[in-house]
Amino acid sequence: MKGSRKKRITVVGSAANPPTRAHRELAETLTKSGEFDRVLWLPSGSRPDKPNLIPAEHRTRMTELMFHESWRREQPTEFAIDLREAGRASIPTIYILRELKQEYPDAEIVFATGVDVLVPREEYGGKCDVLYYWDEGESLMNNWTFVVLPRVDYPHPRVLQQEGKIPKHFLIIDRPPSLVGWASSTEVRRRVACGESFDELVDPRVAEYIHTHKLYQSP
């Protein structure tokens, strides 16, 4: 499949607060899809919509522990952690894509996202998140390619695409539903704050890091 098209790089942004087994499952869905030549994982910088993010140094280190070297070697597609955004204010998606296009002028740059940001919402006048409040949302929808993954409790992206609510040029990749929504960062933080066991939701290296640095504990 790769030999019949231009090089394709997909970009995943993540708050990584903390990275969980569901994040790794998502990464494996992309690396094993056969659609990409490289997967770039970008831990996000500080974000106004996520005021409770812990410092970037912890989030990036946990990301490195989650996607450790032996795991990366096992992937059929090259996987890299890109730290261009970590440690500073979050960069709008379209600016990151433009930066990457300058760095990889011969490659197609694809942004990976869950279907939730593409579902039309009544409170947005029938627009989706991307069109309503993302920087240059119309340009993102019209001039860039997204790879869209299903999420529990949202319409399947193939249905939305058939209804004309997702552009035809967007790629859709199914993912296993086993961990999505269960092994979430929110659930990890809740369990830690309540003193409950959370180790099964994250890589053992990440669990050890959270325990060692006493992250997410209630004051």
Q: Domain residues of the chain, as ranges?
A: 2-181
- Torsion angle of the four alpha carbons 48, 52, 57, 62, in this order, in degrees rounded to the nearest 10: -120
pTM for this predicted structure:
0.91
- pLDDT bin (cut points 50, 70, 90) of residue 46 is confident
Q: What is the pLDDT confidence band of residue 78, given thresholds at 50, 70 and 90?
A: very high
DSSP bridge partners of 46: 89
CATH 3.40.50.620 is the classification of domain 2-181: yes
- Please report which confidence band the pLDDT of residue 83 belongs to, taking 50, 70 and 90 as the band edges: very high
Instruction: Quote the pLDDT of residue 2.
Output: 61
What's the mean pLDDT when you consider all of the chain? 92
pLDDT for residue 178? 59
Q: How confident is the model at residue 67 (pLDDT cuts 50, 70, 90)?
A: very high
Residue 195 corresponds to which tokens in the numbers above? 């003193």
Show the DSSP H helices in the chain as ranges.
Answer: 21-31, 56-66, 69-74, 93-103, 129-133, 137-143, 157-162, 185-194, 204-213
Question: When comparing pLDDT for 6 and 187, which is higher?
Answer: 187
DSSP state of 144: S
**CA neighbor of 188 nearest in space, from 206, 171, 213, 164:** 206
B/e letters for 115-131, b = 16+ CB within 10 Å, e = fewer, are bbbbbbeeeeeeebbbb
Q: What are the pLDDT digits (tens) for 107-138?
A: 999 999 999 999 999 999 999 999 999 999 99
